Amino acid sequence: MTTALQNYQDRMRRVLEHIDRHLDDDLDLDSLAAIAAFSKFHFHRQFTATFGLSVHRYVQLARMKRASHQLAYSDARDVTDIAMDAGYDAPDAFARAFRQRFGQSPSLFRKSPEWEPWLAAFGPLDKARSKLMQIRFTTADVTVRDVPPTRVAIMEHRGNPGTLGATIRRFIAWRKAANLHPRNHPTFTVWHSEGRPAQQADYSVDLCVGTDQPIEAHGEAIKAGEIPGGRCAVLRVTGYTDNLEPAALYLYRDWLPASGEEARDFPIYCQRLSFFPEVPEHETVADVFLPLK
């Protein structure tokens, strides 16, 4: 990559980072062009040419993603407040835009989300970010730790990865009923399969919460288990932790062969240390653990 191209992409990346950090501000074209140090007369076309969608569309999708997470995973805020945060002056305007994008009203989505249209709606946003927002890992980012064993309660997700959101909702509801708050009980995801297996039926993930308490199922299929102790290579990821596949690939493809280490007989897993939308998406943190012999 030439120095000129790298400089150009860095300037565009600054714009995305600014948008993500200032979703509640007035993100007009002139101010964003200034962030990138591009002419305001050309910036909107440069942005669209780079990312495949307009500045306005990008900001809309980013705000709508936050709103949809607030609806699906938290009942702490009402729809009117969520609509205002998404940039809409009235709940009915927000409802129309939400229904157009996801095929459901905000209230129905909060009650029973349909995840396939949701995933499709954010495809352009994820594609835009992936062009310039990829995290580059190095060996200095990986530490080797002795990890103690952790007893956990497990909710399994098997099959279609597109419906993982529904399992996460059930997991959150069960945790609330069991009084297992993330502040006091660590949250883990254990990957038993690839992120995109050849057959959807082979997709296999465990959602886990650390607890020494007797497990009360509260009507859910919950089982007891343990994340075993031992040496692990640990890679911390900050920002956009809904997709940790690049971190896992780095550990397998780059770090492990160069380290001289051998993987232990337990799946790769992560511990989620903060959650979107409780914190902005760029501030979420997760540790990825590769068990070692």
pLDDT in tens, the chain (293 residues): 688 888 888 898 899 889 988 999 999 999 999 999 999 999 999 999 988 899 999 999 999 999 999 998 888 789 999 999 999 988 999 999 999 999 999 999 999 998 888 888 888 888 887 777 667 899 999 999 999 999 999 999 999 988 898 999 999 999 999 999 998 999 999 999 988 888 989 999 999 999 998 888 778 889 999 999 999 999 999 988 988 999 999 999 999 999 999 999 999 999 999 988 888 888 899 999 999 99
Enter the pTM of the model. 0.83
Q: Where are the domains of the chain?
A: 3-132, 139-291
> Span 3-132: which CATH code?
1.10.10.60
pLDDT confidence of residue 73: 87
Cβ neighbors of 70 (< 8 A, separation 6 or more) are 77, 82, 85, 277
> Span 139-291: which CATH code?
3.20.80.10
Residue type, 205: V
Give first-to-last CA distance, the chain, whole Å: 39
pLDDT confidence of residue 119: 85
Q: What does the alpha-carbon distance between residue 30 and residue 237 come to, in Å, rounded to a whole number? A: 32
8 Å CB contact between 52 and 128 = yes
